[in-house]
Amino acid sequence: MQCQFIEMQTTRKDENIVQEYRSKEYNVLFHGLPQKGRIENHDQTKAVVRKILIEELRVSPAQMDTIKFSNAHRLPRRISAVNSENANNSENEERSSDNQKYSPIVVKLASMKGKHSLLKLAPDARKMKVNITRHLPMAMQAQRKTLIKTASRLYTAKEKKIKWKVVGSEYCLYANNERVIA
């Protein structure tokens, strides 16, 4: 009886992860985009993303037509002990741009084509210290985090074809069509 209950909990947990993934399926996260003030409205946040795409990443107007934003907003940033200590020392004082942490931006796109267009820009964005990633549930983020060192090693090897896939409620790394276990 107890084994069945644990199995049912795991299945329910997996279903919740899949449901959360589906709700974030059209979302893309932008990390490292500047923030003016503590509060931005949705239009200001969209403008920040559009400015980076057009001015920095040189996205053409034709490409921008395929990237339709449904919504854009900043996520609240978790405050670490170091950040709260800095805030306590001088709340009004600006921190240097080297250690400035901006809240990530979630952009919900109207189509998968737009999402894939943005994800293709990720390597160019990294050169500008901006990360563009999928918006994943916390459980999948943890799985990705455990596999990222292995993926880095495989990316530098270059003889392997690397892919990240969502399989059920798991975020998996594949090399040459074989699943990699960390």
CATH number at residue 42: 3.30.70.1820
CB 132 within 8 A of CB 30: yes
Asked whether residue 69 is domain-assigned, the answer is yes
Measured at the alpha carbon of residue 117, what is the angle toward residues 22 and 73, in degrees to the nearest 5?
60
Asked whether residue 79 is domain-assigned, the answer is yes
Structural domain for 115, as ranges: 25-135
DSSP label of 53: I
Asked whether residue 177 is domain-assigned, the answer is no
CB 172 within 8 A of CB 164: yes
pLDDT in tens, the chain (182 residues): 344 444 555 688 889 999 999 999 999 999 999 887 778 888 899 999 999 999 999 999 888 888 999 999 999 876 553 444 444 444 334 333 444 578 999 999 999 999 999 999 999 999 999 999 999 999 999 999 999 989 988 888 777 788 999 998 999 999 988 999 87
Helix (H, G, I), strand (E, B) or coil at 103: coil
Asked whether residue 70 is domain-assigned, the answer is yes
Whole-prediction pTM value?
0.76
Asked whether residue 90 is domain-assigned, the answer is yes
Question: What is the edge-to-edge ordering of all strands in the sheet holding 69-74?
Answer: 69-74, 105-109, 27-31, 131-134
Q: Report the domain count for the chain.
A: 1
User: Distance between CA atoms of 169 and 17, rounded to whole angstroms?
Assistant: 6
